[in-house]
Amino acid sequence: MNSTAVFELFGVSYSYQNRVLALQDVDLTIRAGETLVILGPNGSGKSTLLKILDGLYRPTRGRILAFGHDITAAADDPELGYWLHQRVGLVFQEPDVQLFSPTVFEDVAFGPLQLGWPSERVRQAVATTLDELSIAHLADRAPFELSGGEKKRVALATVLVMDPEVILLDEPTANLDPRSRAQLLEILAALHRRGRTLIIATHELDLAAALASRIVVFGEREHRPIAEGPPHHILSDQQLLIAANLVHEHLHWHGSLAHSHLHWHDAEHQHEHG
């Protein structure tokens, strides 16, 4: 990881319909090459933050820089949005939001075609991306025919095909079976090793333990960061995790990058769950 900032947020706030608060006075710097996990419960503003970073929402208040350029108005400026989307890609929590074409190949080709790439370049990029994610055999399949894990990989392919410098992922392992989850985690770890900047929003502690180089914890009531640091520091702070509503006060997390398990305690007995 180098020290170059890919995103800088200054006092960023956002309210839906100017009534429902989602983010409040967020100050945050994200560095090139890091895997930043934004850890927080539902309703803390994680997903909203990713959509702001992708230029889909304009902050109600505050300022955002991406790669040193002011992108605060990207949601309302097509030219600025076009520039941003060549460098930043968002993988939504629900793959069906991104998969709408008759075939997987067409879904993955959609973004490059919108950017005006020549057809041969599009064809080669799609083929390479599908092969890298081990889903080349799905190219002619309809997205609705796919399993949950396959849909997640295709949704990721629609972003990776454009070779973005930054990849935003909203709850990437939600609703996946153990095998699909493990496959996706390995893909994300490989992207990190190749120098991609990953920004992952999740409430899952084991995902944070497996992938994060830094964790930022969002508060459920605060709608902004309440703590940040290396994974071993954040995930060993029981009181922080309880306060952030990430674990129940009687369900204790013990985690590291290599190992995690939970202990349940009650008045009469104790069980360990791996």
> Which pTM value belongs to this model?
0.88
Residue with tokens 């030219």: 79
As a residue count, the chain comes to: 274
The predicted pLDDT at position 19 comes to 84
Tell me, what's the pLDDT at 136?
96
pLDDT band at 18 (very low <50, low <70, confident <90, very high): confident
DSSP 151-201: HHHHHHHHHHTT--SEEEEESTTTT--HHHHHHHHHHHHHHHHTT-EEEEE
In whole angstroms, what is the distance from residue 267 CA to residue 173 CA?
Answer: 34
If one counts every other C-beta atom within 10 angstroms of the C-beta of residue 126, the result is 25
Based on its alpha-carbon atoms, the radius of gyration of the chain, rounded to whole angstroms, reads 19
What is residue 258's predicted lDDT score, i.e. its pLDDT?
Answer: 38
Structural domain boundaries in the chain: 5-87+165-175+202-273
- Segment 19-55, tens digit of pLDDT: 899 999 999 999 999 999 999 999 999 999 999 999 9
Residue type, 234: I
Q: What is the pLDDT of residues 108-160, one digit of tens each?
A: 999 999 888 999 999 999 999 999 999 999 999 999 999 999 999 999 999 99
* 33 neighbors 65 (Cβ within 8 angstroms): no
pLDDT reported for residue 248: 72
Q: Helix, strand, coil shares of the chain as percentages rounded to 5?
A: 35, 30, 35
CATH node for 5-87+165-175+202-273: 3.40.50.300
Predicted pLDDT of residue 121? 96
In the chain, the amino acid numbered 114 is Q
Encode pLDDT of 176-185 as tens digits.
889 889 999 9
Partnered with residue 21 across adjacent β-strands are 15
**Percent of the chain's residues with pLDDT above 90:** 80
**Per-residue pLDDT at 250:** 59
pLDDT at position 81 over 70: yes
Q: Which of 217, 202, 218 is nearest to 45 (CA)?
A: 218
Write the pLDDT tens digit of every residue in 223-267: 999 999 999 999 999 999 999 999 876 555 555 443 444 443 333
